C-alpha cells in the first residue's frame, strides 16, 4: 500500500494557516481512519470477576445512601476506551447496580435504551411504564427509550443486577438526556404473562395493541427451558442459542443492542466465528473458559467479560457433567442497521 504524505512534510506556515481556518488535510489521517481490512478497535478483552466486584458494590451500599446516588452502580469500564468514558465497547455501557432492602430508585425516563439482567437477590421490582416486573435471577427486563422506570425493593437481601445500555452510542449522537418523574401508578397485566408461549400471541379483537415493546420481562425460567429443549431436540446443533425478540414483530427486542442466551452442553467447546459487533458475556449458571484474542478467562457464575468485534471467541464449558448458561449482549442490531454487519469464517 502506498505510503501517504505526513503532516510534518508540510511547511509550518501552511499548517498554521490551515488550522486557523479550521481546515485539516485528509491524507496524513487517511490510513488511520481506513486501516486495511480490519478496523482499529479500542475495545480490549476484560474480565470482571463477581467475587472482586461484589464486596466493592456492597461497600458502595455503606458509603453512599440512595439519595446521594439515585442509581448505585459500579460501571464495568473498558480501559481501552478510557475508564472515565464508561464504555465497555463503542456502543455498550455496562454497570452492576445494587438496591438494598427498603430502598427506592426514583422514576425517570431517558433517551438511551436499557436492559437489566438480574444477578442476585429476590423481592425487588422494576416498574416500566406502569408495568411492575418482578426481578428474579437471570430475568431480562427491558427499559426501552423514553419509558418511565423505577426500582424498589421489599425483600430481605441485597438485590444486584447488570445494566446494559446503548448510552455511549446515544451520547455520541448528542441525543442523551433524562427527565425525572413521580412514582408511577401500577397498571394491571404483564407482557411476560400475555406472551408466555412462543408463537402464540394475544389476538387484538377489540383494541389494537399499540405498544412498540409488548414484552418487557423475559423470565429466566423460560429462556433456560427453551435452551434445554433446543439442545435435547437437536442433538447435533452446535450453537445452542436463543435471541430475545419482540414477540409481535419477531425482531430484536431493542433497537441497537442484541440480547441472547446461550447454553454450552457438558464439556462443549464452542468457537464463535469472528463477527463485526463487540460482545459481552455474563455467566448465569456454571463455569466457562472464554478465549478472546490473547486472553483466556475462567468465568464462574455472575462473572462478566467482553470481546472486541472482528475476533473469534472460544467458549469452553468447564464442567463435563452440567450444562453452562451464558447471557450475551452485542452490537449486532446496530451493525445490521448500519449495513456493516459481517461474519468472517
Ligand atoms: C439508568 O437509568 C439506570 O434506571 C441504570 O437503573 C444505569 C446508567 C446510565 C444512565 C442511566 C437505571 C444507568 C442509567
Sign of CA dihedral 214, 219, 223, 225: negative
167 lines ligand 1 (CB under 6 A): yes
Looking at residue 204, its pLDDT comes to 87
* Nearest residue (CA) to ligand 1, atom 10: 167
Q: Residue 107, Cβ neighbours under 10 Å: how many?
A: 16
Residue 99 lies inside a defined structural domain of this protein: yes
We report the CATH number of the domain holding residue 314 as 2.60.120.10
The CA distance from 119 to 70, in Å, is: 20
Give the residue carrying C-alpha cell 463487540.
278
Q: What does DSSP assign to residue 159? A: E
Contacts of residue 91, Cβ cutoff 8 Å, sequence gap at least 6: 166, 168, 169, 256, 257, 278, 331, 334
* Nearest residue (CA) to ligand 1, atom 12: 71
Q: 3-class SS at 221?
A: helix
110 Cα to the center of ligand 1, angstroms:
9
Q: Which atom of ligand 1 is nearest to the CA of 151?
A: 6
Residue 312 lies inside a defined structural domain of this protein: yes
Segments of the chain with pLDDT less than 70 = 208-209
Looking at residue 207, its pLDDT comes to 75
Element (H, E) at 93: strand 93-99
Range of the domain at 287: 26-344
Residue 7 lies inside a defined structural domain of this protein: no
- Residue of 60, 69, 71, 94 with the most ligand 1 atoms within 8 Å of its CB, for mutation: 71
Looking at residue 205, its pLDDT comes to 87
* Nearest residue (CA) to ligand 1, atom 1: 71
Q: 3-class SS at 105?
A: strand
Number of domains in the chain: 1
Residue 2 lies inside a defined structural domain of this protein: no
Residue 10 lies inside a defined structural domain of this protein: no
Looking at residue 172, its pLDDT comes to 98
- Residue of 66, 70, 72, 73 with the most ligand 1 atoms within 8 Å of its CB, for mutation: 73
Q: How many helices (H) and strands (E) does the chain have?
A: 7, 22
- What does pTM read for this prediction? 0.97
Q: pLDDT by residue (tens digit) across 55-99?
A: 999 999 999 999 999 999 999 999 999 999 999 999 999 999 999
Residue 16 lies inside a defined structural domain of this protein: no
100 Cα to the center of ligand 1, angstroms:
16
Residue 67 lies inside a defined structural domain of this protein: yes
Looking at residue 265, its pLDDT comes to 98
Residue 1 lies inside a defined structural domain of this protein: no
Alpha helices (H) along 29-183: 30-33, 50-63, 167-172
Sign of CA dihedral 218, 220, 223, 226: negative
Q: pLDDT by residue (tens digit) across 205-248?
A: 887 667 899 999 999 999 999 999 999 999 999 999 999 999 99
Looking at residue 237, its pLDDT comes to 97
Q: 3-class SS at 66?
A: helix
Looking at residue 63, its pLDDT comes to 98
Looking at residue 206, its pLDDT comes to 85
Looking at residue 276, its pLDDT comes to 98
Amino acid at each position: 500500500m502506498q505510503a501517504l504524505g505526513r503532516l510534518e512534510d508540510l511547511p509550518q506556515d501552511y499548517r498554521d494557516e490551515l488550522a486557523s481556518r479550521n481546515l485539516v488535510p485528509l491524507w496524513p489521517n487517511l490510513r488511520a481512519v481506513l486501516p486495511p481490512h480490519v478496523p482499529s478497535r479500542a475495545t480490549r478483552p476484560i474480565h470482571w470477576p463477581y467475587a472482586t466486584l461484589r464486596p466493592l458494590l456492597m461497600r458502595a451500599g455503606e458509603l453512599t445512601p440512595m439519595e446521594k446516588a439515585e442509581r448505585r452502580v459500579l460501571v464495568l469500564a473498558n480501559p481501552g476506551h478510557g475508564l472515565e468514558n464508561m464504555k465497555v465497547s463503542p456502543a455498550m455501557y455496562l454497570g452492576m447496580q445494587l438496591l438494598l432492602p427498603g430502598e427506592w430508585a426514583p422514576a425517570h425516563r431517558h433517551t438511551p435504551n436499557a436492559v437489566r439482567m438480574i444477578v442476585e437477590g429476590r423481592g425487588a421490582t422494576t416498574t416500566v411504564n406502569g408495568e411492575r416486573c418482578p426481578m428474579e435471577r437471570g430475568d431480562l427486563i427491558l427499559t426501552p427509550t423514553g419509558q418511565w422506570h423505577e426500582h424498589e425493593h421489599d425483600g430481605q437481601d441485597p438485590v444486584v443486577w447488570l445494566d446494559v445500555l446503548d448510552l455511549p452510542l446515544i451520547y455520541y449522537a448528542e441525543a442523551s438526556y433524562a427527565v425525572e418523574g413521580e412514582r408511577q401508578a401500577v397498571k394491571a397485566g404483564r407482557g411476560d404473562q400475555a406472551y408466555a408461549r412462543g408463537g402464540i400471541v394475544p389476538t387484538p379483537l377489540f383494541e389494537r395493541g399499540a405498544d412498540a415493546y409488548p414484552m418487557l420481562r423475559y423470565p429466566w425460567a423460560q429462556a433456560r427451558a427453551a435452551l434445554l429443549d433446543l439442545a435435547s431436540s437437536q442433538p447435533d446443533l452446535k450453537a445452542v442459542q436463543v435471541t430475545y425478540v419482540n414477540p409481535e414483530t419477531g425482531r430484536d427486542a431493542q433497537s441497537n443492542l442484541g440480547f441472547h442466551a446461550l447454553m454450552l452442553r457438558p464439556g462443549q467447546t464452542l468457537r464463535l466465528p469472528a463477527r463485526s459487533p463487540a460482545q459481552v458475556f455474563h455467566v448465569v449458571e456454571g463455569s466457562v473458559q472464554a478465549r478472546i484474542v490473547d486472553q483466556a478467562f475462567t468465568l464462574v457464575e455472575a462473572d462478566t467479560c467482553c470481546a472486541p468485534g472482528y475476533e473469534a471467541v472460544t467458549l469452553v464449558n468447564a464442567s463435563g457433567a452440567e450444562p453452562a448458561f451464558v447471557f450475551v449482549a452485542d452490537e449486532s442490531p446496530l451493525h445490521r442497521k448500519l449495513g456493516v454487519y459481517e461474519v468472517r469464517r
